[in-house]
């Protein structure tokens, strides 16, 4: 596990995207400093922690539920998306805005309370000294820790990356670089390689039959494939066949799954796991988008929907 180069980090049975882990580390650091700066005033500490808990609750709920607002029909037709999909960066930005509105609202009501009870005498000192100071310190520490981890991650990738290679030293492909070449066969033995699709947008979706989030995103992939411009876009499912719990013939096992679930896009079998490793798909589902020039433009670990896929290949 490398916090500075891996896109996801495994903690036991849990896989976390490293940006989210950076944020959690920042929150932990900010909380420690917040506790130390307010330990002499229990009432202020409790109110401040309550204030920040509400802020992060709104942030997380918005980030998690944004797909419901953006694609309500898709979520209604496939309720499992609520469990596994997120709002991505847009959800985080919107969550921050809503969280800040919540903070302002709470502080405004706090102001009214003290103006009423204390006739405004203590409000300025309480707000500026006892409340705003620890909150500001919390966000400063959060920002310093999180941004430092992001900057260090970028720096390590830039220093270590060999410009002549297609894979970073961490063993995974990275955005902005050439896509690793591969050659795989489908369940019928037909062989395909990356060069077959040059000049088109290529979407690689790494998945397995035993993976619940992978199953949850299949209807969205089917919908996208049905409506996409097949002259300009290629969607390939890359099955992590080496991880499948198949009894007997793996080709027959995956073929049955494809038919039973109505999968209409091509599926290739990664029997050795090399292609998954080359593309950094240590956690699934992982979706990689490759430009017509053969450059990786997006890598996402986690469930994708048709809206995300359309945006990734600039399709309206």
pLDDT in tens, 17-32: 666 677 778 888 888 8
Residue 192 lies in a domain: yes
Q: Are residues 155 and 192 in the same domain?
A: no
Residue 172 lies in a domain: no
Residue 171 lies in a domain: no
Q: Phi-psi category of 144—alpha, beta or left, where left has phi over 0 and alpha has psi -120 to 50?
A: alpha
Residue 247 lies in a domain: yes
Instruction: Average the pLDDT over 60-86 and give the result.
Output: 80
Tokens found for residue 145:
């820790």
User: Strand 201-207 and strand 286-290: pairing?
Assistant: antiparallel
Q: Are residues 63 and 143 in the same domain?
A: yes
CATH number, domain at 226?
3.40.30.10
pLDDT confidence band for 5 (50 / 70 / 90) = very low
**Residue 285: cis peptide before it, omega within 30 degrees of 0:** yes
pLDDT confidence band for 257 (50 / 70 / 90) = very high
Q: Are residues 14 and 152 in the same domain?
A: yes
Q: Are residues 110 and 200 in the same domain?
A: no
> Domain range holding 31?
8-160
Q: Phi-psi category of 188—alpha, beta or left, where left has phi over 0 and alpha has psi -120 to 50?
A: alpha
Kindly give, in sequence order, each residue whose CB lies less than 8 Å from that of residue 312, ignoring residues fewer than 6 positions away. Answer: 203, 287, 289, 297, 298, 304
Domain boundary among 160, 192, 214: 160
Q: Are residues 38 and 82 in the same domain?
A: yes
Q: Is the pLDDT of residue 177 over 50?
A: yes
Residue 85 is predicted with a pLDDT of 77
Residue 192 is predicted with a pLDDT of 93
Q: Are residues 48 and 192 in the same domain?
A: no
Residue 211 lies in a domain: yes
Number of domains present in the structure of the chain = 2
Q: Are residues 222 and 280 in the same domain?
A: yes
Q: Are residues 156 and 25 in the same domain?
A: yes
| Mean pLDDT of the chain, nearest integer | 79
End-to-end CA distance of the chain: 38
Instruction: Average the pLDDT over 253-261 and give the result.
Output: 93
Q: Are residues 139 and 222 in the same domain?
A: no
pLDDT confidence band for 266 (50 / 70 / 90) = very high
pTM (predicted TM-score) = 0.69
Residue 206 lies in a domain: yes
Q: Is the pLDDT of residue 13 over 60?
A: no
Q: Is the pLDDT of residue 103 over 90?
A: no
Q: Are residues 65 and 109 in the same domain?
A: yes
Residue 166 lies in a domain: no
Residue 193 is predicted with a pLDDT of 93
Q: Are residues 93 and 144 in the same domain?
A: yes
Residue 167 lies in a domain: no
Q: Is the pLDDT of residue 6 over 80?
A: no
Q: Is the pLDDT of residue 113 over 60?
A: no
**Three-state SS at 296:** strand
């Amino acid at each position: 596990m490398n916090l500075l180069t891996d896109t996801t980090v495994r903690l036991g049975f849990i896989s976390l995207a490293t940006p989210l882990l950076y944020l959690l580390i920042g929150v932990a650091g900010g909380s420690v400093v917040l506790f130390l700066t307010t330990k002499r005033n229990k009432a202020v500490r409790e109110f401040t922690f309550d204030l920040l808990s509400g802020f992060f609750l709104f942030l997380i709920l918005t980030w998690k539920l944004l797909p419901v607002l953006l694609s309500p029909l898709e979520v209604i037709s496939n309720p499992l998306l609520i469990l596994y999909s997120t709002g991505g960066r847009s959800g985080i930005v919107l969550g921050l805005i809503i969280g800040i509105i919540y903070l302002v609202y709470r502080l405004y009501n706090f102001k009214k309370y003290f103006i009423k009870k204390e006739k405004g005498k203590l409000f300025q000192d309480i707000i500026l000294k006892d409340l705003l100071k620890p909150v500001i310190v919390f966000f400063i520490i959060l920002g310093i820790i999180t941004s430092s981890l992001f900057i260090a991650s970028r720096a390590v990738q830039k220093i270590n990356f060999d410009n002549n290679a297609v894979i970073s030293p961490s063993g995974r492909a990275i955005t902005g670089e050439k896509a690793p070449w591969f050659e795989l066969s489908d369940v019928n033995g037909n062989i395909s390689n990356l060069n077959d699709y040059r000049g088109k947008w290529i979407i690689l979706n790494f998945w397995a039959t035993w993976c619940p989030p992978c199953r949850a995103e299949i209807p969205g992939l089917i919908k996208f494939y049905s409506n996409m411009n097949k002259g300009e876009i290629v969607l390939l499912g890359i099955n992590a066949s080496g991880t499948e719990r198949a009894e007997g013939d793996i080709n027959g096992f995956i073929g049955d799954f494809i038919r039973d679930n109505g999968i209409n896009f091509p599926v290739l079998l990664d029997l050795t796991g090399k292609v998954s490793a080359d593309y950094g798909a240590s956690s699934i589902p992982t979706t990689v988008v490759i430009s017509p020039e053969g450059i990786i433009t997006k890598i996402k670990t986690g469930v994708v929907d048709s809206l995300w896929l359309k945006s990734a290949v600039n399709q309206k």
